[in-house]
Structure 1
Protein backbone atom coordinates (compact mmCIF):
# COMPACT_ATOMS: atom_id res chain seq x y z
CA UNK A 1 0.00 0.00 0.00
CA UNK A 2 1.06 3.58 -0.35
CA UNK A 3 -0.47 6.85 0.64
CA UNK A 4 -0.65 9.20 -2.32
CA UNK A 5 1.80 12.07 -1.96
CA UNK A 6 3.49 10.56 1.10
CA UNK A 7 7.28 11.07 0.96
CA UNK A 8 10.23 12.19 3.03
CA UNK A 9 9.60 15.76 1.82
CA UNK A 10 5.85 15.79 2.55
CA UNK A 11 5.66 13.59 5.64
CA UNK A 12 4.95 16.53 7.97
CA UNK A 13 1.60 17.10 6.24
CA UNK A 14 0.49 13.60 7.24
CA UNK A 15 0.82 14.09 11.01
CA UNK A 16 -2.49 13.27 12.67
CA UNK A 17 -3.70 11.25 9.71
CA UNK A 18 -4.36 7.55 9.41
CA UNK A 19 -1.81 6.06 7.03
CA UNK A 20 -3.84 2.94 6.48
CA UNK A 21 -5.02 -0.46 7.61
CA UNK A 22 -3.19 -3.69 6.79
CA UNK A 23 -4.67 -6.86 5.39
CA UNK A 24 -5.85 -9.49 7.87
CA UNK A 25 -3.35 -12.19 8.87
CA UNK A 26 -4.01 -15.40 10.76
CA UNK A 27 -2.22 -16.00 14.06
CA UNK A 28 -2.36 -19.78 13.93
CA UNK A 29 -0.91 -22.36 16.30
CA UNK A 30 2.07 -22.94 14.03
CA UNK A 31 3.06 -19.27 14.23
CA UNK A 32 2.60 -19.31 18.03
CA UNK A 33 4.75 -22.43 18.43
CA UNK A 34 7.46 -21.08 16.14
CA UNK A 35 7.61 -17.90 18.24
CA UNK A 36 7.72 -19.99 21.43
CA UNK A 37 10.63 -22.02 20.04
CA UNK A 38 12.55 -18.91 18.95
CA UNK A 39 12.13 -17.11 22.28
CA UNK A 40 12.08 -20.01 24.72
CA UNK A 41 8.70 -18.86 26.07
CA UNK A 42 6.92 -22.20 26.13
CA UNK A 43 4.27 -21.50 28.77
CA UNK A 44 1.43 -23.99 28.48
CA UNK A 45 -1.13 -21.29 27.67
CA UNK A 46 0.68 -20.78 24.35
CA UNK A 47 1.78 -24.29 23.35
CA UNK A 48 -0.19 -26.97 25.21
CA UNK A 49 -3.47 -27.13 23.32
CA UNK A 50 -5.02 -29.88 25.46
CA UNK A 51 -4.26 -28.18 28.77
CA UNK A 52 -5.33 -24.79 27.42
CA UNK A 53 -8.69 -26.25 26.37
CA UNK A 54 -9.16 -27.59 29.92
CA UNK A 55 -7.68 -24.83 32.06
CA UNK A 56 -7.39 -21.59 30.11
CA UNK A 57 -10.07 -18.95 30.63
CA UNK A 58 -9.80 -18.39 26.85
CA UNK A 59 -10.84 -21.92 25.85
CA UNK A 60 -7.57 -22.67 24.09
CA UNK A 61 -4.11 -21.38 23.42
CA UNK A 62 -3.34 -17.70 22.95
CA UNK A 63 -0.53 -15.85 21.19
CA UNK A 64 2.31 -14.33 23.18
CA UNK A 65 1.90 -10.61 23.77
CA UNK A 66 5.34 -10.05 22.27
CA UNK A 67 4.39 -12.07 19.21
CA UNK A 68 1.45 -9.75 18.58
CA UNK A 69 3.67 -6.73 19.22
CA UNK A 70 6.27 -7.99 16.73
CA UNK A 71 3.62 -8.12 13.99
CA UNK A 72 3.36 -4.31 14.04
CA UNK A 73 6.65 -3.89 12.17
CA UNK A 74 5.71 -5.99 9.15
CA UNK A 75 2.13 -4.76 9.04
CA UNK A 76 3.25 -1.10 9.27
CA UNK A 77 5.57 -1.64 6.31
CA UNK A 78 2.66 -3.22 4.40
CA UNK A 79 0.56 -0.13 5.13
CA UNK A 80 3.31 2.11 3.75
CA UNK A 81 4.81 3.73 6.83
CA UNK A 82 8.20 3.87 5.09
CA UNK A 83 8.05 6.40 2.24
CA UNK A 84 9.25 5.06 -1.11
CA UNK A 85 12.06 7.63 -1.18
CA UNK A 86 13.52 6.57 2.21
CA UNK A 87 16.65 4.47 1.87
CA UNK A 88 16.08 2.71 5.19
CA UNK A 89 13.92 2.61 8.29
CA UNK A 90 15.18 1.51 11.68
CA UNK A 91 13.13 0.43 14.67
CA UNK A 92 13.78 3.15 17.25
CA UNK A 93 11.66 1.78 20.09
CA UNK A 94 8.34 2.16 21.79
CA UNK A 95 6.89 4.88 23.98
CA UNK A 96 3.83 3.01 25.18
CA UNK A 97 2.38 -0.47 24.80
CA UNK A 98 -0.77 -1.89 26.31
CA UNK A 99 -1.99 -5.44 25.75
CA UNK A 100 -5.78 -5.18 25.74
CA UNK A 101 -7.23 -8.49 24.54
CA UNK A 102 -5.59 -11.90 24.14
CA UNK A 103 -5.29 -13.21 20.58
CA UNK A 104 -6.67 -16.75 20.43
CA UNK A 105 -4.97 -19.27 18.19
CA UNK A 106 -6.57 -19.08 14.75
CA UNK A 107 -7.72 -15.47 15.11
CA UNK A 108 -7.21 -12.91 12.35
CA UNK A 109 -5.56 -9.59 13.17
CA UNK A 110 -4.77 -6.41 11.28
CA UNK A 111 -2.96 -3.17 12.05
CA UNK A 112 -4.26 0.40 11.89
CA UNK A 113 -1.60 3.14 11.88
CA UNK A 114 -1.90 6.88 12.56
CA UNK A 115 1.16 9.09 12.12
CA UNK A 116 1.26 11.01 15.40
CA UNK A 117 4.49 13.03 15.12
CA UNK A 118 7.51 13.75 12.95
CA UNK A 119 10.84 15.10 14.17
CA UNK A 120 13.46 16.05 11.62
CA UNK A 121 17.03 15.19 12.59
CA UNK A 122 20.48 15.95 11.19
CA UNK A 123 21.57 14.19 8.03
CA UNK A 124 18.10 14.00 6.52
CA UNK A 125 16.86 11.51 9.10
CA UNK A 126 13.28 11.70 10.37
CA UNK A 127 12.05 10.25 13.66
CA UNK A 128 8.42 9.23 13.27
CA UNK A 129 5.99 8.23 16.00
CA UNK A 130 2.86 6.27 15.21
CA UNK A 131 -0.19 5.28 17.16
CA UNK A 132 -0.72 1.68 16.15
CA UNK A 133 -3.59 -0.62 16.99
CA UNK A 134 -3.68 -4.36 16.36
CA UNK A 135 -7.33 -5.23 15.80
CA UNK A 136 -8.78 -8.71 16.24
CA UNK A 137 -11.52 -9.71 13.83
CA UNK A 138 -14.82 -9.97 15.69
CA UNK A 139 -13.52 -8.44 18.94
CA UNK A 140 -14.61 -5.09 20.32
CA UNK A 141 -11.25 -4.25 21.89
CA UNK A 142 -7.91 -4.45 20.08
CA UNK A 143 -5.20 -6.94 20.93
CA UNK A 144 -2.88 -4.05 21.70
CA UNK A 145 -2.22 -0.38 21.28
CA UNK A 146 1.30 0.97 20.92
CA UNK A 147 3.21 4.13 20.21
CA UNK A 148 6.01 3.04 17.93
CA UNK A 149 9.12 4.95 16.89
CA UNK A 150 11.03 4.56 13.65
CA UNK A 151 14.02 6.43 12.26
CA UNK A 152 13.71 7.06 8.54
CA UNK A 153 16.95 7.57 6.64
CA UNK A 154 17.03 9.65 3.43
Structure 2
Protein backbone atom coordinates (compact mmCIF):
# COMPACT_ATOMS: atom_id res chain seq x y z
CA UNK A 1 0.00 0.00 0.00
CA UNK A 2 1.21 3.53 -0.55
CA UNK A 3 0.24 6.73 1.22
CA UNK A 4 -0.93 9.48 -1.13
CA UNK A 5 1.69 12.23 -1.41
CA UNK A 6 4.09 10.50 1.00
CA UNK A 7 7.71 10.41 -0.14
CA UNK A 8 11.23 11.05 1.11
CA UNK A 9 10.87 14.65 -0.12
CA UNK A 10 7.51 15.25 1.62
CA UNK A 11 7.95 13.16 4.76
CA UNK A 12 8.21 16.23 7.04
CA UNK A 13 4.65 17.20 6.03
CA UNK A 14 3.35 13.97 7.57
CA UNK A 15 4.71 14.48 11.09
CA UNK A 16 1.84 14.30 13.56
CA UNK A 17 -0.43 12.53 11.09
CA UNK A 18 -1.80 9.01 11.09
CA UNK A 19 -0.18 7.12 8.23
CA UNK A 20 -2.76 4.36 8.19
CA UNK A 21 -4.17 1.18 9.65
CA UNK A 22 -3.07 -2.27 8.50
CA UNK A 23 -5.27 -5.20 7.61
CA UNK A 24 -6.20 -7.65 10.34
CA UNK A 25 -3.74 -10.50 11.02
CA UNK A 26 -4.68 -13.76 12.72
CA UNK A 27 -2.60 -14.74 15.75
CA UNK A 28 -3.50 -18.41 15.93
CA UNK A 29 -1.96 -21.23 17.96
CA UNK A 30 0.20 -22.30 15.00
CA UNK A 31 1.82 -18.84 14.86
CA UNK A 32 2.33 -18.85 18.65
CA UNK A 33 3.88 -22.32 18.51
CA UNK A 34 6.19 -21.30 15.65
CA UNK A 35 7.35 -18.26 17.64
CA UNK A 36 7.97 -20.49 20.67
CA UNK A 37 10.03 -22.85 18.52
CA UNK A 38 12.12 -19.96 17.14
CA UNK A 39 12.78 -18.30 20.48
CA UNK A 40 12.79 -21.23 22.89
CA UNK A 41 10.12 -19.53 25.02
CA UNK A 42 7.81 -22.48 25.61
CA UNK A 43 6.07 -21.18 28.74
CA UNK A 44 2.85 -23.18 29.21
CA UNK A 45 0.62 -20.09 29.02
CA UNK A 46 1.65 -19.83 25.35
CA UNK A 47 1.95 -23.44 24.18
CA UNK A 48 -0.24 -25.68 26.36
CA UNK A 49 -3.90 -25.11 25.44
CA UNK A 50 -5.25 -27.71 27.90
CA UNK A 51 -3.36 -26.40 30.91
CA UNK A 52 -4.08 -22.81 29.89
CA UNK A 53 -7.78 -23.58 29.68
CA UNK A 54 -7.65 -24.91 33.26
CA UNK A 55 -5.15 -22.58 34.94
CA UNK A 56 -4.75 -19.37 32.95
CA UNK A 57 -6.72 -16.28 33.97
CA UNK A 58 -7.32 -15.76 30.22
CA UNK A 59 -9.15 -19.06 29.61
CA UNK A 60 -6.64 -20.28 27.04
CA UNK A 61 -3.25 -19.63 25.54
CA UNK A 62 -1.99 -16.13 24.77
CA UNK A 63 0.61 -14.84 22.34
CA UNK A 64 4.07 -13.92 23.56
CA UNK A 65 4.40 -10.18 24.08
CA UNK A 66 7.45 -10.18 21.82
CA UNK A 67 5.50 -12.01 19.13
CA UNK A 68 2.96 -9.19 19.09
CA UNK A 69 5.77 -6.62 19.11
CA UNK A 70 7.47 -8.35 16.17
CA UNK A 71 4.33 -7.94 14.03
CA UNK A 72 4.65 -4.13 14.06
CA UNK A 73 7.36 -3.88 11.40
CA UNK A 74 5.62 -5.90 8.70
CA UNK A 75 2.28 -4.23 9.39
CA UNK A 76 3.88 -0.75 9.20
CA UNK A 77 5.47 -1.73 5.89
CA UNK A 78 2.05 -2.91 4.68
CA UNK A 79 0.65 0.55 5.47
CA UNK A 80 3.44 2.19 3.46
CA UNK A 81 5.85 3.49 6.11
CA UNK A 82 8.76 3.04 3.69
CA UNK A 83 8.12 5.54 0.88
CA UNK A 84 8.30 4.18 -2.66
CA UNK A 85 11.28 6.45 -3.40
CA UNK A 86 13.35 5.06 -0.49
CA UNK A 87 15.81 2.31 -1.31
CA UNK A 88 15.56 0.68 2.13
CA UNK A 89 13.92 0.83 5.53
CA UNK A 90 15.66 -0.71 8.53
CA UNK A 91 14.65 -1.29 12.14
CA UNK A 92 16.56 1.23 14.25
CA UNK A 93 15.16 0.60 17.72
CA UNK A 94 12.42 1.24 20.22
CA UNK A 95 11.89 4.21 22.48
CA UNK A 96 8.90 2.99 24.46
CA UNK A 97 6.84 -0.18 24.64
CA UNK A 98 3.91 -1.01 26.88
CA UNK A 99 2.03 -4.32 26.76
CA UNK A 100 -1.55 -3.47 27.63
CA UNK A 101 -3.80 -6.46 26.85
CA UNK A 102 -2.87 -10.10 26.18
CA UNK A 103 -3.64 -11.41 22.70
CA UNK A 104 -5.57 -14.68 23.01
CA UNK A 105 -4.86 -17.45 20.54
CA UNK A 106 -7.26 -17.05 17.61
CA UNK A 107 -7.55 -13.26 17.93
CA UNK A 108 -6.93 -10.85 15.06
CA UNK A 109 -4.75 -7.75 15.42
CA UNK A 110 -3.92 -4.71 13.31
CA UNK A 111 -1.50 -1.80 13.57
CA UNK A 112 -2.48 1.88 13.64
CA UNK A 113 0.60 3.98 12.79
CA UNK A 114 1.19 7.70 13.41
CA UNK A 115 4.37 9.51 12.36
CA UNK A 116 5.80 11.26 15.43
CA UNK A 117 9.06 12.73 14.15
CA UNK A 118 11.59 12.81 11.34
CA UNK A 119 15.32 13.38 11.80
CA UNK A 120 17.52 13.82 8.74
CA UNK A 121 20.97 12.38 9.40
CA UNK A 122 22.76 13.22 6.14
CA UNK A 123 23.94 10.87 3.44
CA UNK A 124 20.34 10.12 2.49
CA UNK A 125 19.55 8.64 5.90
CA UNK A 126 16.38 9.61 7.78
CA UNK A 127 15.31 8.38 11.22
CA UNK A 128 11.54 8.20 11.57
CA UNK A 129 9.76 7.68 14.86
CA UNK A 130 6.26 6.24 14.79
CA UNK A 131 3.61 5.51 17.38
CA UNK A 132 2.20 2.04 16.84
CA UNK A 133 -1.00 0.84 18.43
CA UNK A 134 -1.58 -2.89 17.98
CA UNK A 135 -5.35 -3.22 18.24
CA UNK A 136 -7.18 -6.45 19.03
CA UNK A 137 -10.43 -7.04 17.16
CA UNK A 138 -13.35 -6.71 19.57
CA UNK A 139 -11.24 -5.40 22.47
CA UNK A 140 -11.38 -1.87 23.84
CA UNK A 141 -7.73 -1.65 24.92
CA UNK A 142 -4.85 -2.33 22.51
CA UNK A 143 -2.46 -5.25 22.86
CA UNK A 144 0.43 -2.81 22.99
CA UNK A 145 1.61 0.65 22.19
CA UNK A 146 5.14 1.25 20.99
CA UNK A 147 7.27 4.08 19.73
CA UNK A 148 9.47 2.56 17.06
CA UNK A 149 12.40 3.93 15.11
CA UNK A 150 13.24 3.13 11.51
CA UNK A 151 16.07 4.32 9.31
CA UNK A 152 15.04 5.16 5.79
CA UNK A 153 17.72 5.30 3.13
CA UNK A 154 16.88 7.46 0.14
CA UNK A 155 17.75 6.42 -3.40
CA UNK A 156 19.51 9.67 -4.19
Shorter-chain TM-score category?
over 0.9
> In structure 1, what is the equivalent of residue 43 of structure 2?
43
> In structure 2, what is the equivalent of residue 78 of structure 1?
78
User: Considering only aligned residues, what root-mean-square deviation do their CA atoms show, in Å?
Assistant: 0.4
Q: How many residues align?
A: 154
**Does the alignment pair 1:121 with 2:121?**
yes
Superposed CA offset, 1:13-41 (max 9, x none): 00000000000010000000000000000
> In structure 2, what is the equivalent of residue 94 of structure 1?
94
Take 1:152 and 1:26, find their aligned partners in 2: how far apart are those partners?
Answer: 28
User: How far apart are residue 122 of structure 1 and its match?
Assistant: 1.2
Superposed CA offset, 1:64-94 (max 9, x none): 0000000000000000000000000110000
User: How far apart are residue 49 of structure 1 and its match?
Assistant: 0.4
User: How far apart are residue 5 of structure 1 and its match?
Assistant: 0.7
Take 1:100 and 1:42, find their aligned partners in 2: how far apart are those partners?
Answer: 21
The DSSP-based 3-state class of the residue aligned with 1:46 is: helix
The DSSP-based 3-state class of the residue aligned with 1:12 is: helix
Structure 1: stretches of 5+ with no match in the other structure? none
Take 1:2 and 1:19, find their aligned partners in 2: how far apart are those partners?
Answer: 10
The DSSP-based 3-state class of the residue aligned with 2:104 is: coil
Take 2:2 and 2:133, find their aligned partners in 1: how far apart are those partners?
Answer: 18
Take 2:95 and 2:112, find their aligned partners in 1: how far apart are those partners?
Answer: 17
> In structure 2, what is the equivalent of residue 139 of structure 1?
139
> In structure 2, what is the equivalent of residue 69 of structure 1?
69
Take 2:86 and 2:79, find their aligned partners in 1: how far apart are those partners?
Answer: 15
- What TM-score does the superposition give when structure 2 sets the normalisation length? 0.98
Q: Find runs of 4+ consecutive structure 1 residues off by over 2 angstroms.
A: none
Take 1:122 and 1:9, find their aligned partners in 2: how far apart are those partners?
Answer: 14
